[in-house]
Amino acid sequence: MDNLVNLSNADGGVPTMTMDEFERRANEYVHIAIRNLRSSDVTRDQYKVNDSLKADLWGSFHRIMSRHYALIEPDTQAS
């Protein structure tokens, strides 16, 4: 596990993630989702890859991750 995620913070054990790590993971998620859409015969022509789709994917990722992680500032030390 990388040093940007701490699973035992003082706020009751809620996993934390920095915004930098969140953005890195979100970009990876969006990239993989778009690649999967383009590579599938079923979805290839059903979605136009544009900023709106990317924003929807980013929002989906944020909703998923916010259920499991508390976002923190990079200099916040969770103990």
- 78 domain residue, yes or no: no
- The string of pLDDT tens digits covering residues 4-38 is 444 445 556 778 888 889 899 999 999 999 999 88
- 58 domain residue, yes or no: yes
Q: Which helix (H) or strand (E) holds 18?
A: strand 16-18
Query: What local confidence, expressed as pLDDT, does residue 56 receive?
Result: 92
Query: What local confidence, expressed as pLDDT, does residue 2 receive?
Result: 46
- 79 domain residue, yes or no: no
Alpha carbon distance, N-terminus to C-terminus of the chain: 16
Classify residue 25 as exposed, middle or buried by CB count within 10 Å of its CB (0-12, 13-18, 19+).
Answer: middle
Q: Do 72 and 11 touch, CB atoms closer than 8 A?
A: no
Domain count, the chain: 1
Query: What local confidence, expressed as pLDDT, does residue 6 receive?
Result: 47
- 43 domain residue, yes or no: yes
- 68 domain residue, yes or no: yes
* Domain containing residue 43: 5-72
State the Cα–Cα distance between residues 48 and 34, nearest whole angstrom. 10
